[in-house]
Amino acid sequence: MMGILEVKNVNKRFGGLQALGDVNLSVAENSVHAIIGPNGAGKSTLLNCLVGKLMPDTGSVLFDGQSVLGRTPHEINQMGISRVFQTPEIFGELTVLENMMIPCFAKRDGSFRMHAIGHMFDEAELVEKAEHMLESMNMAGKHHMHAAAMSRGDKRRLEIAMCLAQEPRLLLLDEPTAGMARADTNNTIDLLKQIKDERDITIAIIEHDMHVVFSLAERITVLAQGMPLVEDTPENIKGHPKVKEAYLGEAH
Amino acid sequence: MFGLDKKDATLLVIVAILTLCAPFLLNPFPSESALAQFNAGYPDLMQRFVIFGIFAIGFNILFGLTGYLSFGHAAFLGVGSYSAVWMFKLLSMNVIPAIILSVVVAGLFSLLIGFISLRRSGIYFSILTLAFAQMSFNLAYSVLTPITNGETGLQLTLNDPRILGQSATADGSIPVTSLFGLEMRSTYELVMGPWAFQFNAGYYLCAVIMVLAFYMSIRIFRSPFGLMLRAIKSNQTRMSYTGLNPKPYTLAAFVISGMYAGLAGGLMASMDPLAGAERMQWTASGEVVLMTILGGAGTLIGPVLGAGFIKYFENIFSKINDTVLHSWFSFMPDGLENLVVMLVYPFIGKGWHLTLGLMFMMVVIFLPGGLVEGGQRIRRLFRRKDDTPAAKTEPAE
């Protein structure tokens, strides 16, 4: 069966370093797929190849049957792929509600629309959507706060909320719990589980924290030195000798 | 009101009232008194206040919202002036077609320069715009002399063809600019006791256009388009990963601000129908940057305040000479008087740039948000006395 995201024979070199070597990956629709691996395994490089930040040297990346290669990040996003960054990328100088309005406009109006006459808060439908989204993320009452003034955990929630407001089909998360305290990490896990239960969405997650991976993932791909080592269910990955050797062994 | 919320509508009304009453407000001192030299209510200076206000409002749409610092906006002002003068030479002395053409030409010119310059961001963008403006300035001085009349500047002559109008008036002089017969230079003087107030047709035309330009800028600030421009300044990475293409948004902002600059240039030529290349020089581009930062970049009213502030000091401080200083300090013993005059002298007259520079440094160091931030601090100081301080972050205005 064809997955929603199909990565085939992707290679990427940086000078003498083979960052990705013949990576094949298939993410099934409506699943949670984790990509793990030790530092320098090529996880972030792979992610950057999926969202248009990097161009692989060879190979193909298909999203829903269409190639994403050669497209710009905003075009790929409009196809239905949203990305959550390791450090939350939000509009720090804008208010929380304005932050939420931007993806709502992007979803409705596309990548550019000259819309300079109306008042942004006159778009009742979009304001309602943004407010509803904030409420469902437990951020009601923070509408008029500067996004930069929020706590790290709230910034992360806002970023995820902004991605979800675009109703993406594939949500890419780049180490969403990096640098978080255990309590915040657990909150994020619960949030992602809730998102998974409530929507038809595919989640691909790059993660370091095994606790997060084994709580969420349905399939796991292990990368080591730019090559996919194994791909299997969490149960099988836990006991896999190769994985232990490459990754778990040094971490635990 | 007019699609604005209450706060913005109040601001607009205040600005409208202040500009329309400027001939009174800027002439607070009786015309025979010693303080009369601080009066700024004469047509020429008032026109400059509002014209540079328009220039700065437009510049702020680019710099204040998107954060792209253009160092070449004077080129659009200059192009606007040349277009307007050509319209006076070829078509008619009515200012309307001249102003329209100056906006259109500046818009096209900024589309071209913006398209190329916006391939880079940050300092490289600034350098590209600076290079383009200096190129335009040098071209206007040299190879484009047939269009710009080089060093002398483009002026009206007695042989201009002027299709809708006459080349020369009955008494053999060059006709003056007008709005459907209302001469721009016509001034009504109202004398009330020791005070004299001047109401100039040209000033009122510029003032009305500035209020309209200010209104448009409020609309742009509050629109979804304005939100996208602020998003560009805040985080371009998040913007592109939210499916938005920052490039056309920035280019649109660049063209809009270029058209504002063209409008200012066209009005300048409408008040005084000549255009010189020095209007395009980098110092003129730098001046609008100073105005915007001094007033408060990214705020609505800041650029207008900054423009007024700089033009006032330019004209008033530069008029003070050592005779005036001696008369001020004449109450002191002679030796002391000479010493004080000697100390103050570098800051006035031709040295007013020194005063401006010092003020600019103080504002940037102590009030990074410009004069608007100064006003907000004072207001907060008063408010704190009334109620308990609330630890609340307020969104920028």
Instruction: For residue range B125-134, list pLDDT tens digits in order.
Output: 999 999 999 9
Pull the structure tokens for residue B100: 């329209």
Kindly indicate the confidence band of residue A251, based on its pLDDT and cuts at 50, 70 and 90: very low
Q: Quick check: B235 and A73 CB within 8 A?
A: no
Return the pLDDT at A60: 94
CA-based nearest residue in chain B for residue A144: B395
Kindly indicate the confidence band of residue B396, based on its pLDDT and cuts at 50, 70 and 90: very low
Greater pLDDT, A149 or B353? A149
Give the mean pLDDT of B236-261: 96
- The pLDDT mean for chain B works out to 90
* Residue A80 predicted with pLDDT over 90: yes
Chain A to chain B Cβ contacts (< 8 Å): 117
Query: Of A177, A75, A47, A183, nearest to B247 (Cα)?
Result: A75
Q: Strands A58-63, A227-232: parallel, antiparallel or unpaired by DSSP? A: unpaired
Nearest-Cα distance to chain B for A102, in Å, is 7
Backbone angles phi, psi at A17, to 5 degrees: -95, 125
Give the residues across from B179 on adjacent strands. B182
Using CB atoms, pick whichever of A119, A146, A166 lies closest to residue B243: A166
Measured CA to CA in angstroms, residue B353 lies from B228, B297, B328 at distances of 37, 21, 21
User: What domains can be seen in chain B, in order of their start residue?
Assistant: 6-286 (1.10.3470)
CA-based nearest residue in chain B for residue A77: B243
Nearest-Cα distance to chain A for B220, in Å, is 5
Contact between residue B295 and residue B370 where contact means Cβ atoms under 8 Å apart: yes
Kindly indicate the confidence band of residue A247, based on its pLDDT and cuts at 50, 70 and 90: low
Give the N- to C-terminal CA distance of chain B in Å, as an integer.
Answer: 18
Provide, as residue numbers in chain A, all residues whose Cβ is less than 8 Å from the Cβ of B230: 91, 93-94, 98
Return the pLDDT at B392: 43
Give the mean pLDDT of B213-234: 96
DSSP string for A177-195: TTT--HHHHHHHHHHHHHH
Nearest-Cα distance to chain B for A123, in Å, is 9
Instruction: List the alpha helices (DSSP H) in A36-144.
Output: 43-51, 73-79, 96-109, 124-136
Interface test with chain A among B2, B66, B225, B241, by most A beta carbons within 10 Å: B241
Nearest-Cα distance to chain B for A99, in Å, is 8
Contact between residue B140 and residue B74 where contact means Cβ atoms under 8 Å apart: no
> What is the tens place of the pLDDT at every residue in B315-358?
888 888 878 888 888 888 888 888 888 888 888 888 888 888 89
> What is the tens place of the pLDDT at every residue in B149-203?
988 899 998 888 888 888 888 888 899 998 998 888 999 988 888 888 999 999 9
Q: Quick check: A166 and B231 CB within 8 A?
A: no
Give the mean pLDDT of A160-182: 91
* Residue A90 predicted with pLDDT over 90: yes
Name the range with the highest mean pLDDT among A152-161, B147-156, B161-170, B240-249: B240-249
CA-based nearest residue in chain A for residue B222: A119
Nearest-Cα distance to chain A for B383, in Å, is 20
What is the maximal distance between C-alpha atoms in chain A?
Answer: 63
Return the pLDDT at B5: 87
Greater pLDDT, B353 or A66? A66
Provide, rounded to the nearest whole percent, the portion of chain B with pLDDT above 70: 96
3-class secondary structure, B319: coil
Q: Quick check: A91 and B393 CB within 8 A?
A: no
Q: Quick check: B228 and A51 CB within 8 A?
A: no
Q: Quick check: A123 and B230 CB within 8 A?
A: no
Return the pLDDT at B393: 42
Query: Of B290, B304, B287, nearest to B375 (Cα)?
Result: B304
Instruction: List the alpha helices (DSSP H) in chain B.
Output: 6-20, 22-25, 43-60, 74-90, 95-117, 122-141, 145-148, 201-222, 224-234, 236-240, 246-271, 282-295, 302-317, 322-328, 334-344, 352-366, 370-386
Return the pLDDT at A230: 86
Residue A72: Cβ within 10 Å count? 15
Using CB atoms, pick whichever of B234, B245, B394 lies closest to residue A93: B234
Give the mean pLDDT of A72-91: 94
Give the mean pLDDT of B249-271: 96
**Domain segments of chain A: what residues?**
1-80+168-252, 93-167
Contact between residue A59 and residue A23 where contact means Cβ atoms under 8 Å apart: yes
Quote ipTM for the complex.
Answer: 0.92
- Residue B20: what residue type? L
Return the pLDDT at B102: 97
Nearest-Cα distance to chain A for B250, in Å, is 11
Nearest-Cα distance to chain B for A244, in Å, is 35
* Residue B389 predicted with pLDDT over 70: no
* Residue A249 predicted with pLDDT over 60: no
User: Which CATH number does A1-80+168-252 carry?
Assistant: 3.40.50.300
Q: Quick check: B245 and A103 CB within 8 A?
A: no
Provide, as residue numbers in chain B, all residues whose Cβ is less than 8 Å from the Cβ of A123: 224
Greater pLDDT, B267 or B393? B267
Return the pLDDT at B394: 45
Pull the structure tokens for residue B191: 């004398």
Using CB atoms, pick whichever of B225, B242, B245 lies closest to residue A116: B225
* Residue A88 predicted with pLDDT over 50: yes
Contact between residue A207 and residue A177 where contact means Cβ atoms under 8 Å apart: yes
Return the pLDDT at B395: 46
Category of A34 on φ-ψ map: left (φ > 0), alpha (ψ -120 to 50) or beta? beta
Least confident among B51-60, B254-263, B319-328: B319-328
Q: Quick check: A77 and B230 CB within 8 A?
A: no
Q: Quick check: B243 and A103 CB within 8 A?
A: yes
Contact between residue B279 and residue B78 where contact means Cβ atoms under 8 Å apart: yes
Backbone angles phi, psi at A243, to 5 degrees: -65, -45
CA-based nearest residue in chain A for residue B237: A89
> What is the tens place of the pLDDT at every residue in A22-32?
999 999 999 99
- The pLDDT mean for chain A works out to 90
3-class secondary structure, B43: helix
Return the pLDDT at B397: 47
Greater pLDDT, A241 or A155? A155
Provide, as residue numbers in chain A, all residues whose Cβ is less than 8 Å from the Cβ of B248: 112
Provide, as residue numbers in chain A, all residues whose Cβ is less than 8 Å from the Cβ of B4: 119
Using CB atoms, pick whichever of B5, B243, B395 lies closest to residue A78: B243
3-class secondary structure, B1: coil
